[in-house]
Chains A and B, each alone.
Chain A
């Protein structure tokens, strides 16, 4: 017969196990939406000088449009994901709000030569489960009751607060973060007067009205 101290011991063991499982498994930090999402690749490679995470989601929904979504993701990232020792990280986030599956993928590749910066590729797609449709950028505009030109001006103003020589290059993609915030993908460039212009990617959290950088968005 178990004594109360035995029960306490088992409870403590269970709590310690749960703590370690949640803390030290990096994949558990990503929400798995098992009904609609499967992970084509979900692995971690730890090297001596680097660690890389590869997480590539696909929709489990069997329709023509969902197939197009999966092909869109796989065609861009699967080759990089399957490359061994590529040192690339592919970090994905999948969130579901209002029946929209929102997928954000950031692929970070280390520079091929000294002095260069990481190559960052971003990708987003938003799939409406109920209507079996990929949602256009106008969905963000309608939902947030914001005008496209006003949005561009707002992002431009935020960029120039950081650096006076920054400009929006293109705004046409978005995703929805885990808190349900609409996040705009911003393709921007800086043009320092003494050197060549440089293109960069950042996010604009429309609900918080703040710029976020890839990698800090989670």
Chain B
């Protein structure tokens, strides 16, 4: 990528961070024939969600995927959600554009129907110490509120104790420490997925934060992708 394009792309990101412009403008950049290093990797077909940035490509010798969404509903709760998304993920994107010393991926998975918007955003980098920085949020369109963990219990008709027991049983053989069912999201099939974090530390190496996904419907664990 030429220096001019590099500056152009960095400026685009800066403007995004400051003004939160609409999806259309970002897609125009992604589809720009003069900018062959980037493509739009994923489309969202929903009136409730749009991309802040939706591009992937290479920058110097490093590769990047940036899928950073925002919810388009006009409410204070949504403003708070969007603020956290921008604050957590747009800044690393900017940092990458200033100094692309490693590969970076910020990928979004979403489930949207008339009642709920469920988002999972995962940031992974070629580095050490963690499977990634994960953010999930579940927003009820009907009630204009985020949904707490008890929503899972209602949806899946299970008690908290039963759920934790199931999870602990699944991890018994995996030698994981400090298991924490930290959050949840709804996947594209409508299944409820619990995000589980664990911390491993062999004294001879650096500690590592692992991510696992537990599908409540079929009680299966999937390792972080």
Contacts and interface: CB of A to CB of B under 8 A. Distances in A.
B116 to A, nearest CB: 13
Looking at chain A's contact residues, is the secondary structure mostly helix, strand, loop, or mixed?
Answer: mixed
Interface string B196-225: 010111110011010000000000000000
A75 B77 contact: no
Nearest to A187: B180
Interface residues on B, range: 35 or more
Contacts of A133: 77, 143-146
A207 interface: no
Contact of B83 (A142, A193, A195, A199): A142
A116 B200 CA distance: 19
A65 B147 CA distance: 8
Given A75-B160, A131-B144, A147 B91 contact: yes
Given A133-B77, A136-B77, A148 B84 contact: yes
Nearest to B83: A138
A65 B143 contact: yes
Interface in B78-96: 79-85, 87-88, 91-92
B150 interface: yes
Given A71-B153, A72-B150, A191-B207, A199 B80 contact: no
Nearest to B198: A199
Given A75-B153, A142-B83, A148-B88, A134 B148 contact: yes
Nearest to A67: B150
B84 A189 contact: no
B161 interface: yes
Given A138-B82, A142-B79, A170 B87 contact: no
A191 B203 CA distance: 8
Contacts of A72: 148-150
B128 interface: no
Interface string A191-218: 1111111010000000000000000000
Contacts of B88: 148-149
A82 B201 CA distance: 36
A136 B146 contact: yes
A131 B76 contact: yes
B154 interface: yes
Given A136-B146, A170-B197, A149 B92 contact: yes
A135 B201 contact: no
Contacts of B203: 192-196
A68 B150 contact: yes
A172 interface: yes
Contacts of A69: 148, 150
Contact of A172 (B148, B149, B183): B183
Contacts of A191: 201, 206-207
Contacts of A138: 79-85, 87
Contacts of A196: 177, 201-203
A164 B187 CA distance: 39
A20 B93 CA distance: 59
A134 B77 CA distance: 8
A68 B151 contact: yes
Contacts of A194: 203
A163 interface: no
B161 A79 contact: yes
A133 to B, nearest CB: 4
B26 interface: no
Given A75-B153, A169-B197, A191-B206, A137 B84 contact: yes
Interface of B: 76-77, 79-85, 87-88, 91-92, 135, 137, 140, 143-151, 153-154, 159-161, 177-178, 180, 182-183, 197, 199-203, 206-207, 209
Enumerate the 10 nearest inter-chain pairs by beta-carbon distance, A residue then B residue, closest first: A197-B201, A138-B80, A138-B84, A133-B145, A75-B160, A148-B87, A71-B150, A72-B150, A138-B83, A199-B178
Given A71-B153, A134-B146, 5 more contacts: A132-B144, A138-B81, A148-B87, A172-B182, A191-B207
Interface of A: 64-65, 68-69, 71-72, 75-76, 79, 125, 128, 131-139, 141-142, 147-149, 167, 169-170, 172, 187, 189, 191-197, 199
